[in-house]
Structure 1
């Protein structure tokens, strides 16, 4: 268990690490491509503190939500209000609101804007780079979040082992499909439909989608391996990913309450961590699709307050749960950033690809309108999740 102080620092760890890794991806990619990146910020708004090393001011800003990497742009002045940047390249507005000028420690008489009087060379603008390089820069944050997720999950498996509930039947419901087929308490399910089974969650994954027809279930009973044909009965159940009610298959067995931790090699841990990351990503995509189709209610979306509460609870349950939450949030941020909404990475990538197809850059007016639509969409999402957070706080 973590200390009481560590528990309440947990939200800062969760937010900070996930955002830092994402922005670090953009920053490193920009540097590799030769783009001038004068600001690397955790948080938005007024600069609280930081340090300047080389060309870049590494800072922590007032509003502890998200972060950004400031990159040199052909339209730096016009887009500064949208991108959280600097309104005056000769005299830096650190907070983006005109209230603070460049501290003496940041100003360099020989430096480039916004920390010096020299103009940024055109070959160091984002727009001067190839479409492939710009896509790389924009997608690097997502890539880093995926790497973080795989690394954390693989590390957890390596350190704690593969934790699972064996597929051993504890009891069989009287007159349920399993009982009628001949399954008994103590049977270990070893295969369904010819596919090997080890964990109980695999039984659920195989049985739940079957609402017609039968399943070939193989069990180990003592020294015997037996095969049964089981026809699931259809019931109303909750989708474990979307939460929506839908018809599901049930065979009427209860699992034995036991947990096994299986030691893994580095290779096995990496394979399992990657597999879990992929499953997590497909679940997020499924939920997003459900939001669009109406199958998933927007009331289920949580925001910063919910994340903070979940972080504290995870920390109380130990480091394993806290790091699992970090992996989950990192993967969510990766997938959500690929949604083609302006100002998100996916929207910016879409703009680059569209310009490539068009053969020329969109006008400043078009890009400003595109960005402002994105800002409004993101603000609407923030208001929605904040409302959901406050409702959950006051209704519990």
Structure 2
């Protein structure tokens, strides 16, 4: 992992995560034969770019996301929503429209950069349902791949650092003390599952709020088993902040770490496990927001991400790349939420049309899109307000 200057870190974090997401949509469109004249990082007016083949690869004014323009029945309304400068139809044009730059116009090209109409077989709506869902889900898949690749790279370079499941002390009268466990004992198994690290022990003990655990213990050269009945405790969830009930056996971990070097296969396995744990964490927060257990005040936006990126870069490249992996997975999961204009909402619309047996009217589709835009704008306003408030209160 290479070193990053802290104050360009936000550009890397935003740019890479968005680029990979939009690249997924773009490559899927190309693979399925859909015409894609614009690949943009950012929304709004074109700042600069280069046109290669059929596509204008550009950077746009507002650095909050990006888009791939595809031949679609909703092209004109969606181009207006995304803020692209070429808002006209993808049908045939006799001459260059006023909103298309002369530098982008080519008499041998298809609209919007030329006079030729886009063939019917290159429109999204004329592709199969499976092809359309593939295009819509490809951005999410690419973000998941980015998280897996980055996580694997971190583990391969830095190894796996963990806290061994070695007892430092036991709480008098707690289940571990009653069972005869003592400082220096190593927990090597719970209910038949091998245990090596402290977090693995917690994963096994915390969900058990009734019944017993079969705990395997290594003490010097001796290995023995004990049955423990965990005590019930109420704690604040470290992810959502909500109260939850967990099992506890009354042991303190010994403050020591072990770094284990990993080969590529081991790093891939560790990276996959880390990705799965991050996904569960994000899903827990979304579930907490939906149930009201997590306050919307906890949500951060672009300013918070930028500040966190700078802080992460100052701590080292591994911390920054960990942030990129986590943010990429956040983007993947959030895009699956069934809100119009997000990938999940668009997939839901495609499936609804398949069940209905025909396409929704233009008015319904445009209303669907605009509701989604309002929802996304409301979210942007909320997280930006949170960011500004935190600037003055922290």
* Structural mapping, 1:170-319, within 5 Å: 170-319=168-317
Cα 1:80–1:356 shift into 2, 3 Å: same
- Aligned counterpart, 1:6: 5
- Aligned counterpart, 1:363: 361
Cα 1:9–1:289 shift into 2, 3 Å: same
Measure the CA separation in 1 of the matches of 2:204 and 2:393. Answer: 37
Q: CA deviation at 1:160?
A: 1.3
Measure the CA separation in 2 of the matches of 1:391 and 1:254. Answer: 38
- Aligned counterpart, 1:73: 72
* Structural mapping, 1:1-396, within 5 Å: 6-85=5-84, 86-89=86-89, 101-396=99-394
Cα distance per residue 1:31-90 (max 9 Å; x no partner): 111111111111111211111111111111111111000111134224432344432245
Cα 1:237–1:92 shift into 2, 3 Å: farther
Three-state SS of the structure 2 residue aligned to 1:242 is coil
- Structure 2 gaps, min length 5: none
- Structure 1 gaps, min length 5: 94-99
The answer as to whether partners of 2:43 and 2:82 remain within 8 angstroms in 1 is: no
Three-state SS of the structure 2 residue aligned to 1:50 is strand
Cα distance per residue 1:355-376 (max 9 Å; x no partner): 1111111000010111111111
Give TM-score scaled by structure 1 length: 0.93
Measure the CA separation in 2 of the matches of 1:313 and 1:78. Answer: 40
Cα distance per residue 1:79-110 (max 9 Å; x no partner): 432344432245888xxxxxx94333211122
Measure the CA separation in 2 of the matches of 1:75 and 1:180. Answer: 68
Measure the CA separation in 1 of the matches of 2:79 and 2:18. Answer: 21
The answer as to whether partners of 1:2 and 1:316 remain within 8 angstroms in 2 is: no
Measure the CA separation in 2 of the matches of 1:300 and 1:329. Answer: 16
Shifted more, 48-57 versus 240-249: the winner is 240-249
The answer as to whether partners of 1:51 and 1:58 remain within 8 angstroms in 2 is: yes
Three-state SS of the structure 2 residue aligned to 1:205 is helix
Shifted more, 381-390 versus 328-337: the winner is 381-390
Measure the CA separation in 2 of the matches of 1:78 and 1:241. Answer: 39
Shifted more, 154-163 versus 34-43: the winner is 154-163
- Aligned counterpart, 1:97: none
Q: CA deviation at 1:182?
A: 1.4
Number of matched residues?
Answer: 389
The answer as to whether partners of 2:151 and 2:322 remain within 8 angstroms in 1 is: yes
RMSD: 1.9
The answer as to whether partners of 1:2 and 1:318 remain within 8 angstroms in 2 is: no
Shifted more, 307-316 versus 208-217: the winner is 208-217
Cα distance per residue 1:236-262 (max 9 Å; x no partner): 212233221122222222211222121
Q: CA deviation at 1:305?
A: 1.3
Measure the CA separation in 2 of the matches of 1:88 and 1:358. Answer: 30
Three-state SS of the structure 2 residue aligned to 1:105 is helix
Three-state SS of the structure 2 residue aligned to 1:68 is strand
